Amino acid sequence: MNSADNKPAGEPQDDGPEQPEKKHVLGFGQRMRAYLLAGILVTAPLFITFYLAWLFIGFVDNKITPLLPDKYNPETYLPFGLPGLGLVVLVLFLVLTGALTAGFMGRMWLRFSEQMLARMPVIRNVYSALKQIMETVFADHSAAFREAVMIEYPRRGIWAIGFITGRTKGEVQNLTEEECINIFLPTTPNPTSGFLLFVPKKDLIPLTMSVEEAIKMVISGGIVTPPDRRPLEEQQVPLTAAHTYEEMDIIREGDRVPVLVPKGSRPGKK
């Protein structure tokens, strides 16, 4: 008689030693495909980065290097070219220009040149606008492009990522009851173009992601999404919802009736 038959009916039967799980073995074609994809993921970002850098350096070299006199051009005495020579010359020129304008004679020359440009009808407008933009963007205390926010655009219930460029001033702010903020809304995949929006400060939702991460998300069309680094309890509390405004838009747009959302009705404020 078999020993397995002597066991009580309630006890599990021993089927012998456990059979090892069969591992899924990739075929030759599947392995080659996986290796190909891995190679693309590794080399494509490096190749594209170096290619763009090479194009930029070549563009600067083609514009700056021909301006150098043959006597001071190292390529005149060498049997080969020097990639990046124009970029180095450009950086040195900018540093030298900044050092000269910091002195007394430099400030005098800058004031004289600005007075000359101010007398030219069209050029003075272009120069004044470009100078003001540059001073605003590169100022240490400037808030331009220092913070990414989420706004409802192009209608309520649809959100987009924008960047704060400053606080609204002048006639636009004086005509608006709410305190407004200047928002630059970039387009995908080219973030250099976009829209200027004047958004009420209370309607902005600040993002904890950095400006660089937000730009990557815009350029990639949402493929590259940064992680949420907020505490877990904050992640579980939503700050806005589309249904909050569904019944308000028609009344608000008709006859410019100032219908406001009741205080505390936003998600997260209940």
Mean pLDDT by 10 residues, the chain (270 residues): 51 55 70 86 87 91 87 82 87 86 78 81 81 70 78 86 91 91 90 90 90 90 88 83 56 52 54
Work out the angle at residue 209's Cα, subtended by the Cα atoms of residues 267 and 206, and round it to the nearest 5 degrees. 40
User: Residue 242: what pLDDT?
Assistant: 66
User: Residue 196: what pLDDT?
Assistant: 93
Please report the domains of the chain, with CATH numbers, ordered by start residue.
Answer: 148-228 (2.30.30)
User: Residue 200: what pLDDT?
Assistant: 92
C-alpha distance from residue 101 to each of 94, 117, 137 (Å) = 11, 17, 20
- This prediction has a pTM of 0.58
User: Residue 75: what pLDDT?
Assistant: 81
Closest-CA residue to 152 (of 42, 250, 259, 242): 242
User: Residue 184: what pLDDT?
Assistant: 93
How far apart CA 173 and CA 167 sit, in angstroms, is: 9
User: Residue 65: what pLDDT?
Assistant: 87
